[in-house]
Chain A
């Protein structure tokens, strides 16, 4: 899973908001549901963390090699050629894993407190 490292950070941050900001202020009748959500997040977090350890070195190494090749001009003769297929494939996989909706709607969102 690409971007798994970021995923663990995201899940950990979401869990912290739930634990520190939301659960303490919930009425008791809603607290059980929130604690179940917290438990689900913990499981997802642990599973993702395992994936990070398995895959991160390989992905990071491949990205570094490709980046070095691009910077040293290996693809300069055809910057819009084969390399774009490799990059597009990588981005499509990462989007599929994190925000698959974006692939369909392609709309950028904004966080606004109403």
Chain B
């Protein structure tokens, strides 16, 4: 069941907020999210903790959550923790673990103003906007990667940290109903060229321009924390900077948004822990392999919504483009070594 009934939601919110009455004035399901369902809601509260009109986001787990997902409960706790540390993340409000609202665990957060659609090459951002935005992003990621996680919060991420990244990729590859020799070869190469293990940080796990909200040319929010885990900070940076996420704006190496040098400078000012930038090309390859595996998997998924089904089938075809990119990246890497 992936239905959200206005009446059920209104009653639940009335109880949670101690309001006299709640009216749901609009409710619409949003696209996106790897394994979550998302709705945007406008609610008017008479009395209670959220008196007035609030724009809210409801995020619900699907029937088939993806393996590395930390789950709704952990994501809710993590957002609370990050908000308390003044990160630019949506403010989580209420958690429904019973499945009353959507049939699956869900939580409500306040809507963050901003959109991720205005970052591409055709956006109205000028050079100075891009520079500032890149620095904002570098600052937020540096702050995340230097964060000390209290031991009572560490349990949130235990599941993701049990298996090495490459082992997880092998598991995902073996779940596909067909063989992919290029990915097999790339994983072998990644294993043989694995960098020395360095200090670990809290990683977002899906840090790319699609999960960054921009309003009036400034960063307003970082969303979709379901793949957060403890890992190498360069995993996030490699994912953010991988060419496959720049959407044609290739000369802006920092996520298709700005220059890598601006990102690095801002990141390092915030986070004095040493990052070995020489390893970044390796992590760009990791990112491209990861996205290729996701694309192949998405191509096999089904949906009740025909437009979504077509989008998934088209995403499946990105797999071969990413395989092409992997071959090119590894060949370049080998050439530089010589």
Contacts and interface: CB of A to CB of B under 8 A. Distances in A.
Interface of A: 3, 6, 9-10, 12-14, 16-17, 19-21, 60, 63-64, 66-68, 70-71, 73, 75-76, 79-80, 83-84, 86-88, 90-92, 94-95, 98-99, 102-103, 106-113
Given A6-B299, A80-B330, A84-B330, 20 more contacts: A9-B299, A9-B316, A10-B314, A10-B316, A13-B312, A20-B306, A63-B179, A63-B180, A63-B181, A73-B188, A79-B185, A84-B327, A86-B181, A90-B181, A95-B320, A95-B321, A106-B324, A107-B247, A110-B120, A110-B247
Contacts of A10: 310, 313-314, 316-317
Contacts of B179: 60, 63-64, 66-68
Sorted from nearest, which 7 A-B pairs have the closest CB atoms? A67-B179, A13-B310, A63-B179, A107-B248, A13-B313, A10-B313, A16-B306
Interface in B19-64: 31
A86 B323 CA distance: 13
B74 interface: no
Contacts of B334: 80
Interface of B: 31, 117, 120, 178-182, 184-185, 188-189, 192, 210, 243-248, 250, 299, 306-307, 309-314, 316-318, 320-321, 323-325, 327, 330-331, 334
A70 B181 contact: yes
Query: Do most interface residues of chain B lie in helix, strand or loop, or is the interface mixed?
Result: helix
Given A70-B188, A71-B188, A95-B320, A80 B310 contact: no
Contacts, number: 123
Given A17-B310, A84-B331, A98-B317, A108 B324 contact: no
A95 B117 CA distance: 28
B247 A94 contact: no
A104 B236 CA distance: 29
A17 B313 CA distance: 12
Contacts of A6: 299, 313, 316-317
Nearest to A60: B178
Most buried by B among A66, A68, A80: A80
A52 to B, nearest CB: 12
Nearest to B192: A79
Contacts of B321: 95, 99, 102, 108
A79 B306 contact: no
18 contacts: A6-B317, A10-B310, A13-B309, A13-B313, A13-B314, A14-B310, A19-B306, A60-B178, A70-B184, A71-B184, A79-B192, A84-B185, A95-B324, A99-B317, A106-B325, A107-B248, A109-B247, A110-B247
A108 B299 contact: no
Nearest to A5: B178
B287 to A, nearest CB: 12
Contacts of A73: 188
A108 B334 CA distance: 23
A76 B191 CA distance: 11
B306 A17 contact: yes
Contacts of B245: 108
Contacts of B180: 63, 67
Contacts of A103: 324
Nearest to A71: B184
A13 B312 CA distance: 9
A17 B312 CA distance: 12
Given A9-B313, A13-B310, A16-B306, A66 B181 contact: yes
A13 B306 contact: yes
Contacts of A19: 306
Contacts of A91: 182, 320, 323-324, 327
A40 B334 CA distance: 46
